């Protein structure tokens, strides 16, 4: 989950980064890379795009750390950077066949079902896809998602409800 402000080791690593310690940024990268990549992969539908998003998110974070005030946790902040980059990436390149990392070798039926699911996910509007991935895949709570997406908690809940209904419709129609 996304970290709470000043509640964990990220705060110390951020302070070290602000003092110029590149090793501290490597620790932040190691801690957050996997989950950011998983989120970016689901949002962009493409491994190469997801890798680009994560790399660019950390580069932007590194450059902006001197002015980072800690009003949000580092985790929330980097997620927000990555979500915005995913939006840009998705607008530039609509994937033809979504990719999913870490899958076991699917059975023939699993492969079809997974492709249908990923295709339905990619056909959602950006707002629906983002809230669905952040809540149901990344298991973040509504206040965290609202902060990442820059919306109210009520909007987040409403978007999730609509996204799930749209996914059901897409999956039952096929």
Q: Could you please report the per-residue DSSP string of 38-103?
A: HHHHHHHS-HHHHHHHHHHHHHHHHHHGGG---SS-HHHHHHHHHHHHHHHHHHH---SS---TTP
Model pLDDT, residue 104: 45
What's the average pLDDT block by block, 10 residues per block, for the chain (174 residues)? 55 91 93 95 90 96 90 91 88 55 49 83 91 93 94 95 94 81
Phi and psi angles of residue 140, each rounded to the nearest 5 degrees, phi first? -85, 155
* CATH class for the region spanning 9-173: mainly alpha
pLDDT value of residue 8: 67
pLDDT of residue 158: 96
pLDDT at 29: 95
| Domain spans of the chain, in order of start | 9-173
Cβ–Cβ < 8 Å for 77, 2: no
């Amino acid at each position: 989950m996304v970290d709470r402000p000043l509640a964990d080791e990220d705060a110390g690593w951020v302070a070290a980064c602000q003092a110029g310690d590149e090793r501290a940024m490597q620790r932040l990268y190691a801690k957050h890379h996997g989950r950011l990549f998983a989120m970016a992969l689901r949002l962009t539908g493409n491994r190469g795009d997801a890798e680009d998003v994560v790399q660019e998110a950390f580069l932007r974070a590194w450059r902006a750390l001197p002015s980072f005030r800690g009003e949000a946790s580092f985790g929330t902040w980097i997620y927000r950077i990555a979500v915005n980059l995913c939006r840009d990436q998705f607008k530039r390149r609509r994937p033809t066949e979504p990719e999913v990392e870490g899958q076991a070798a699917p059975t023939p039926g699993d492969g079809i079902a997974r492709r249908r699911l990923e295709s339905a996910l990619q056909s959602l509007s950006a707002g629906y896809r983002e809230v669905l991935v952040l809540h149901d895949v990344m298991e973040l709570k509504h206040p965290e998602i609202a902060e990442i997406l820059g919306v109210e908690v009520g909007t987040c809940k409403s978007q999730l409800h609509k996204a799930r209904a749209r996914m059901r419709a897409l999956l039952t129609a096929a």
